[in-house]
Amino acid sequence: MPVSTSPSTAAASAAAKTYRSALALVTTLFFMWGFLTVLNDILVPHFKAVFDLNYTRVMLIQFTFFSAYFALSVPVGKIVGRIGYQSSMVLGLGVMGTGALMFLPAAGALSYPLFLAALFVLAAGMTVLQVSCNPYVTVLGPPEGASSRLNLAQAFNSLGTAIAPWLGGLLILSNSAKTGDEIRAMTPGALAAYRLGEAASVKTPYLIFAGILFALGVVLWRVKLPVITSIEQHGEDAVENGRVVRSAWRVRHLMLGALGIFLYCGAEVSIGSFLVNFFSQPEIGGLTEQAGARYVSYYWSGAMVGRFAGAWLTRRIPAGRLLALFALIASALVWVCIFSTGAFAMWSIILVGLFNSIMFPNIFALAIEGLGRLTSQGAGILFMAALGPAVVPLAQGALADRIGIHHAFVIPALCYLYVVYYGLRGCRH
């Protein structure tokens, strides 16, 4: 005798299937912006050699890129609230594709400022995607699964970050790349030809990336994603100390979470930005740039493995405690790297990637918890805090120019200690 299914059960099953399909599509966007963000780790050593830059000046790559998050996250949060999540995702992909295309004239003009402008536009599109995709994933299902869903989506983001250094090293870096001293010894004519040729290596990859981004934008424009309106239009008021809060800026655990995002993201990106040059140091690995890029893939692969594991762990361990544990281990590994050399220093800093894994999704989910109608505004504030990867690598670069690249890792080591505090106490509300 067939078992009948109630209309409510059938509707719930259909909704769950729709949510899974939507999550799968949005996860593709996580992959793309992770891939393109970490390509900056390849551009850092490449442009350092091509334009003969010191560590401070070459870290303008990360400063310019992540400044877009700071400058645009709050207004983008308002745009997302007005036009909706899906339209915002399409807009973000279009802006990202435009930024990728701008690499072609920048390479042709051999202009470092134009490359920085292209990176800013590319990051502007990513800001739109981040502010729309992350909160969309958190509300695309039961509230108790928000951290787990975000960890799963961020795992595919990490898949992109794991592949990017390896593929970028093959496409952009050259085994015949010259050192700064060799470049300075060239005649003016030879120097101009060399720099033009090296800069041109970014043209084909970024043209391909632009095509993929525009194609994804068309696909996303044509499909129908679930419309999530309850969180903004019918959600509950946020409450702080027993009082209704009308502005996300007044929510303590959100603002402490924003500082956590600032420091964690800054530490993660700063470490990745220096790895190729760090691994080339004689006392560490003595590797070529292309060989070093492969090891950078291991750093970002650790985050991917950790996020898949984190999607399981956050269902069993409170998100705050897991966050504090991972941040404490990450800080300890950086200190080990600082006080060691050779393969031990290399692998201790690479292992930090594994423990970076759950930090962003856990901080984000803890920080926007309970915001109700203020969720989009809160997400905008959190992504504005992504200024950390603009400031922390620049600070580490300035310190590296003074005390050396090895001991400059003290800056990310200290950043992780704040994340420990947030996981234990700062996230409470």
Give the Cα separation of 212 and 373 in Å (integer).
34
CB-CB contact of 90 with 33 (8 Å): no
Q: What is the pLDDT of residue 420?
A: 97
Q: What is the pLDDT of residue 243?
A: 61
CB-CB contact of 268 with 415 (8 Å): no
Section 405-417 average pLDDT: 97
Q: What is the pLDDT of residue 179?
A: 59
Delimit the domains of the chain by residue range: 21-223+233-426
Highest-scoring range by mean pLDDT, 13-17, 76-80, 244-248? 76-80
CB-CB contact of 253 with 427 (8 Å): yes
Residue 273 predicted with pLDDT over 70: yes
Section 379-408 average pLDDT: 90
Tens digits of residue pLDDT in 175-229: 555 655 666 677 777 777 888 888 888 999 999 999 999 999 998 888 877 766 5
How many other CB atoms are there within 10 angstroms of residue 410's CB atom?
15
For residue 92, give the nearest of 75, 76, 113 by alpha carbon: 76
> What spatial distance separates the first Cα and last Cα of the chain, rounded to whole Å?
51
3-state SS track over 343-408: HHHHHHHHHHHHHHCCHHHHHHHHHHCCCHHHHHHHHHHHHHHHHHHHHHHHHHHHHHHHHCCCHH
Q: What is the pLDDT of residue 236?
A: 58
338: Cβ contacts below 8 Å, ≥ 6 apart: 406, 407, 409, 410, 413
Give the Cα separation of 217 and 234 in Å (integer).
29
Give the confidence band of 305 by pLDDT, cuts at 50, 70, 90: confident
Reported as type and span, the H/E element at residue 189 is helix 188-199
Section 110-131 average pLDDT: 93
Average pLDDT, the chain: 85
How many other CB atoms are there within 10 angstroms of residue 78's CB atom?
13
3-state SS track over 5-50: CCHHHHHHHHHHHHHHHHHHHHHHHHHHHHHHHHCHHHHHHHHHHH
Section 135-152 average pLDDT: 74
Give the confidence band of 234 by pLDDT, cuts at 50, 70, 90: very low
CB-CB contact of 429 with 370 (8 Å): yes
Q: What is the pLDDT of residue 428?
A: 87
For residue 160, CA distances in Å to 39, 84, 297, 301, 338 come to 10, 26, 10, 9, 28
Strand partners for 245: 238
Query: Residue 184, class by beta-carbon neighbours within 10 Å (0-12 exposed, 13-18 middle, 19+ buried)?
Result: exposed
CB-CB contact of 289 with 177 (8 Å): yes
pTM of the entire structure?
A: 0.77
Count of positions (residues) in the chain: 429
Residue 370 predicted with pLDDT over 70: yes
Q: What is the pLDDT of residue 13?
A: 55
Residue 349 predicted with pLDDT over 80: yes
Section 295-317 average pLDDT: 83
Q: Which CATH number is 21-223+233-426 given?
A: 1.20.1250.20
- Beta strand pairing status for 238-240 and 243-245? antiparallel
Q: What is the pLDDT of residue 303?
A: 81
Section 77-94 average pLDDT: 88
Residue 389 predicted with pLDDT over 50: yes
Q: What is the pLDDT of residue 344?
A: 94
Give the Cα separation of 266 and 409 in Å (integer).
12
